[in-house]
Structure 1
Amino acid sequence: MGLNGKVAVVTGGTRGVGAGVARAFAEAGADVVTCARRPPQEPIEKTEFFPVDLRDPDAVHAFFAQLPRVDVLVNNAGGAPYRPLDRSGAEWHARVVELNLITPLTASLAAYEQLRRAEGSVVMIGSVSGTRPSPGTAAYGAAKAGLENLARSMAVEWAPEVRVNTLVVGMVRTELSALHYGDEDGIEAVSRTVPLGRMATPADVGAAAVFLASDSAAYISGASLLVHGGGERPAFLDAATANKEA
């Protein structure tokens, strides 16, 4: 994949999807740096961790300034708990948007000069929540929709030196899956709604991120790569009575 000796920074790369992305880049030969507010509960082999509050622009700029080079930036940090819109004020939802949209922009701007010199790559970790209704996580979905559009604009403004792409990620099975989908029976039931029959693993997302950052994707920029196992079966197919027996 042409990543030997390159420096890859993965924000929020200490658990879940982020940890899977960090491991994938390490296995591809990159020197991996992860950053988050808290260190990983278990060290991730062949990666270096720095404590950074990604919502603090000064701290983010200071973090990137100390790195000798940056070839790849994976903007993974983000997320949101389930919260219907009318159960919180606009300020709470604004913080969700800040974490999932402003934080990746802050990191990208802080890393821009190093990425430009390295003719590097930015990979945004988006979500299918940004491409369909996202009840219960509406602010998160809106932020992810904005992130995908931001990546496309960034790809135009920063070309030809820096490529920018988005992974549009579906459901991923992580150590926190039970919080979203319930017990093992619930996770299995949800998995059956995916055409490929299972949720993604963090390693699946990591492999896709490595591809977009690699020389194999040298002519891919401004693109959105779906990593969702085939998407969702349309609900009307199960509700319709025509050809039910077939």
Structure 2
Amino acid sequence: MENLARGTADGSLRGRTVVVTGGTRGVGAGIARAFADAGAHVTACARRPPERPLDGVGFTPLDLRDPPAVRAFFDALPRLDVLVNNAGGTPHRRLAEADAERHARVIELNLLTPLTASLAAYAHLRRARGSVVMIGSVSGGRPSPGSAAYGAAKAGLESLARSMAAEWAPEVRVNTLVVGMVRTELAHLHYGGRDGVDAVSRTVPLGRLATPSDVGAAALFLASDAAAYVSGASLLVHGGGERPAFLDAATAGGPSDQED
């Protein structure tokens, strides 16, 4: 912890230039705020502007599914030190309820757009010896009924980040935040109202959902000098994970029922 505190407190991100895709609400806004609070020059890009401007965070309208527009955006930047690929998401939709083309759009948003942005940013990042932070999901490492295409894309994103880290070293570091359940302004759409959110929170070992600022703090760490020797890594930000279902289903008692 001493190294982490020294790395973030010494201003290692002060004056750095950071782009956060999808950085206008929810997790993305939490990440953008964290970098702005650390003294970085932050730009959030998304199709729509934030409902309320974020202090210290600029905004540029950008459709990340438009490769020529993405390349033009990054080409126009004078410098870039950190790219946070946060844009993504999916509606709840079982596989048989939609055609392949609709699922392909989910994969495009969550896997191909981070690749597009990273390639467009590469020259800047190489010159600055910067870093890429991918925002992954626990859905990429477990079954995700209702969001299968999203989970597949996030699994691919982790793999992409590891390969990118190997190919772009030593000039550019690439890491993934594997994010669990987050309490955002849209949490009720996924978990129900307050009762639903509270019930889901009780399934997390730490007893609560993450906040956007929790994810922002982790992204800040991976981009900072405190993580100078961290690349190709996946950092779990999930409050300890999910309680295994078999523990509630099992009828056996405690350790006394087992013999060596």
Which of the five TM-score ranges fits, normalised by the shorter chain? over 0.9
Q: Which residue of 2 aligns with 1:5?
A: 15
Whole-Å Cα distance in 2 between the matches of residues 139 and 23 of structure 1?
A: 29
TM-score scaled by length of structure 1: 0.99
Whole-Å Cα distance in 2 between the matches of residues 106 and 11 of structure 1?
A: 12
Whole-Å Cα distance in 2 between the matches of residues 151 and 42 of structure 1?
A: 32
Deviations 1:215-245 (A, max 9, x none): 0000000000000000011111111111169
| Structure 2: gaps (5+ residues) | 1-7
Q: Any residues of structure 2 matched to 1:114-125 within 5 Å, and which?
A: 114-125=124-135
Q: Any residues of structure 2 matched to 1:1-246 within 5 Å, and which?
A: 1=8, 2-243=12-253
The residue type equivalent to 1:53 in the other structure is D
CA-based RMSD = 1.0
Whole-Å Cα distance in 2 between the matches of residues 141 and 152 of structure 1?
A: 17
Whole-Å Cα distance in 1 between the matches of residues 145 and 110 of structure 2?
A: 17
Quote how far apart the aligned CAs of 1:26 are: 0.4
Q: Which residue of 1 aligns with 2:4?
A: none
Whole-Å Cα distance in 1 between the matches of residues 192 and 232 of structure 2?
A: 36
Deviations 1:31-54 (A, max 9, x none): 001100000000000011000000
- 1:95 counterpart SS class: helix
- 2:155 counterpart SS class: helix
Higher CA-based Rg: 2
Quote how far apart the aligned CAs of 1:66 are: 1.1
TM-score scaled by length of structure 2: 0.93
State the number of aligned residues: 246
Query: What stretches of structure 1 move > 4 A for 4+ residues in a row?
Result: none
State the identity %: 77
The residue type equivalent to 2:136 in the other structure is G
